[in-house]
Structure formats: structure tokens, C-alpha cells
Structure 1
Amino acid sequence: MEYHNEEFEEESFKDIDFADESFKNTKFIDCSFDNCKLSNVDLNNSRLQDVRFMNCKIVGLDFSKCNNFIFSIGFENCYLSYCIFSDMDMENTDFIDCQVYDCDFVNTGLKNTNFEGSNLTNSLFRNTNMSGASFRNAKNYNIDPNNNFLKKTKFSIPEVISLLSVYDIEID
């Protein structure tokens, strides 16, 4: 099946391997991906509006190449690795109970974004607006409070102590 230059509305994609597919110039509106594999998918000028990813393995996707008009996505129980979310507005996005490894969030608007229960190993957060975001029960995040906006951002103990790592201090 061809996925580039297409339009999908209210479609459910389940148990599909999309490795190396092209979603170039494709519109996905009110769609869901469940238990799918998306590796090295070309997202150039794709439109993702109210798209949910559940139980998916997502590797090497550059979401910053998507059309940003009404861009809205969410992830639940997903494995994301080497994905780029830089220079995007991702306000109110869910990353619930996800493995978010080696992903880039540089110059990203993450206002009210939900990372609850996620593992953020080696993900890069720089110059992001995380006001109102939730990192409750999230772990392995490395966030420099000097290089990110954290007003009313929610964290859990003991992981919140990692915010002090940039200060090279000793805590007993």
C-alpha cells in the first residue's frame, strides 16, 4: 500500500511494520497507530492532526519535518528512540509511560506536556518551555533549569534531585 501523497481520516493502523516507508505529503487526521513499527519513516510535509500512537516502536523519525498546521500527536506505552522534536510546538502532548531514548527536544514548546511514567534516558532538553508540564514518576531525565523554562512544572521525588546535577554539588 502507498502511504505518500495520501489522506487518511479516522483510520486505525494495527500491527503494521512501516519501516522505511514514506509518509511524505500525507495527511493523517484523527488516526491511531497501535502496536506498529515506524523506523526511518519519511515525514516530510506530512500532516499529523489528532494522531495517537499506542504500544508502537518508533525509531529515527524527524517529527520537525512535519507540517506544523494543527499538529497534534500523543504517545502511550511507546518506545521512541533517536527521534527529533526540535523547533516544534508540542503543547499538551502526551508521552505517557513511554521509553523516550536519545530524542532531541531543542527549542521545543512543551507547555503542559505530559511525560508521566516515562523513561527519558539520554534525551536532550535545551531552550524548551516546560511550564505546566508533568514529569511525575518519570525517570532518567537530564534537564538543566538554567537552559529551560520550568514554571509550575511537576516532578516527583527522588528523581527531581537530578535537576541539581548541573550545579556540581554534593547531597547527602
Structure 2
Amino acid sequence: MDEKYYECEKFENIKSDKSVFEDYEFIDCEFDGCTFDECKLLKCTFSGCQFYRCSFISIQAEYSQMKNCGFIKCNLIGIHWNDFLPAGRIAEPIRKIQDCCLKYNTFIKMNFRKFDFTGSVITESTFEGCNVAESSFRECKLEGTQYNSCDMRKADFRDAAGYQIDIMDNKMKDARFSFPEVIRLFNVLGIKID
């Protein structure tokens, strides 16, 4: 990539390992089949971009931001999404996640209200102080994923598995769960169900 500013461009099969990207701006761009492994993003902006079949592994971001980006069939590993929060928090970094695999991700005080995570694999990740009210986690694999101090009212966890939710620490009114996985909610109480 020779330029620093790209708009409505398509990038395919870029493989980048431990590279540093500085002062890049991507507006409404499409990335397909790209891999960014242990890369560092300094003062970069991604706005309205779409990522298809991409892998992001242990990305570090400083003074960088994402706004309304979509991820389809991507692998997102070891990402701290707060490092991508736009200035002024007018928009959220992620607009769409579909059929993605997320592992070791951290989401802090992000707004996912009415968001559709359906069918995604989200493992060993943390949602802290997030608004996931009315969101769908249906059929998600959530092994080791924790929800702390989140607004989960009317969230849908039917047919999801592996979640760790402290019912005393989260707002849970009208959230939906399936049996037998719903028994996990009682773990925090220290009771045994036979």
C-alpha cells in the first residue's frame, strides 16, 4: 500500500506479519482474505469498512479508530476493542459480526444494543460494562466468555452454550435462555442441582 488514504478500494489476500501501519485512513473499503498477525496500528482510521474471511491476530492499536465496520467469516483473536473506539464515541467500532470466530477478545463499555451475534463462536472473551440489551447470542458457542456489569435485559441466549454470567452482577430482566444450559446461571450462587 503506497498511499495513506483509500476510499472505496478493495484489498485481497494481503498477508502482513508484525508490520507497523501509521497514519493510514480507509473509508468504505473492502478487505477479503487478508491476514494481519501481530501488527501495530498507529493513528489509523477504518470507517465503514467490510472485512470478509480475514484474520486479525493480536493487533495492537494506538490512537487508531474503527467506525461501523463489518466482519463476516473472520477470525478475530486477542483484540482489545476499546483501543479502536472512535473519538467522542459517536459510533461503535463494530456494526456487524456474522459467522465469525472471536477468541481472547475484550469489550469494555461498548454499545451492542440489539446486536446480532447469532451463530458466532466467542470464546475466552470478556464483556465488561457493555450494553447487550435485546441482542441475540442464539446458537453461539461461548465457552469461557464472561459478562460483567452488563445490561443484558431481553438478550437472547437460547441454544447458546458455555457462557459465564453472574446473575447478581448483570441486569438480566426478560433475558431468554434454553434448558439445560440455563443451569449455568446458578453457579455463582454455589448451589447444587441434581
TM-score (norm 1): 0.88
Q: Counterparts of 1:39-50 in structure 2 under 5 Å?
A: 39-50=57-68
The correspondence of residues 6-85 of structure 1 with structure 2, limited to 5 A, is 6-68=24-86, 69=89, 70-73=91-94, 74-85=96-107
Runs of 4+ in 1 over 6 A off after TM superposition: none
Q: Structure 1 residues 24 and 112 mapped into 2: Cα distance closer, same or farther (>3 Å)?
A: farther
The Cα of 1:72 is off from its aligned counterpart by 4.4
Q: CA RMSD in A?
A: 1.9
The code of the aligned residue for 1:5 comes to D
Which one-letter code corresponds to 1:71 in the other structure?
Answer: E
Change (3 A) 1:46 1:110: farther
- 1:15 CA displacement: 0.5
- Percentage of pairs with the same residue: 26
SS in 1 for 2:183: helix
**TM-score of the two chains, using structure 2 as the length reference:** 0.79
AA aligned to 2:106 is I
Equivalent-residue separation in structure 2 for 1:46 and 1:132 (angstroms): 33
Structure 1 portions without partners, runs of 5+: none
Deviation at 1:56, TM superposition (A): 1.0
Q: Distance in 2 between matches of 1:151 and 1:44?
A: 37
Distance in 2 (CA, whole Å) between partners of 1:137 and 1:4 is 42
Q: What are the Cα deviations for residues 133-163 of structure 1, in whole angstroms up to 9, with x where unaligned?
A: 2212211111111011112212222212211
How big is each residue's C-alpha offset from its partner over 1:65-87, in whole Å with a ceiling of 9 and x where there is no partner? 12242114122211111111123
Question: How far apart, CA to CA, are the structure 1 residues paired with 2:22 and 2:97?
Answer: 22
CA drift at 1:22: 2.9
Number of matched pairs? 172
Structure 2 unpaired stretches of 5+ = 5-20
Tell me how far apart the structure 2 counterparts of residues 167 and 60 of structure 1 sit (CA, whole Å).
30
The residue identity in structure 1 corresponding to 2:79 is L
Using the TM superposition, give the Cα deviation of residue 60 of structure 1 relative to its aligned residue in structure 2, in angstroms. 0.9
Indicate conservation of the 8 Å contact 1:30/1:51, yes or no: yes
Matching of residue 148 in structure 1 with residue 166 in structure 2: no
How far apart, in 1, do the equivalents of 2:154 and 2:42 lie?
Answer: 33
In the alignment, is residue 163 of structure 1 matched against residue 181 of structure 2?
no
Separation in structure 1 between the aligned mates of residue 146 and residue 157 of structure 2, nearest angstrom: 15
Distance 1:23 1:115, change over 3 A: farther
Deviation at 1:28, TM superposition (A): 1.9
Letter matched to residue 24 of structure 1: L
Query: Would the aligned equivalents of 2:65 and 2:93 in 1 still touch at CA under 8 Å?
Result: no
What SS class does the counterpart of residue 187 from structure 2 fall into? Answer: helix
SS of equivalent to 2:26: strand
Q: Which amino acid aligns with 1:56?
A: C
Whose radius of gyration is greater, 1 or 2?
2
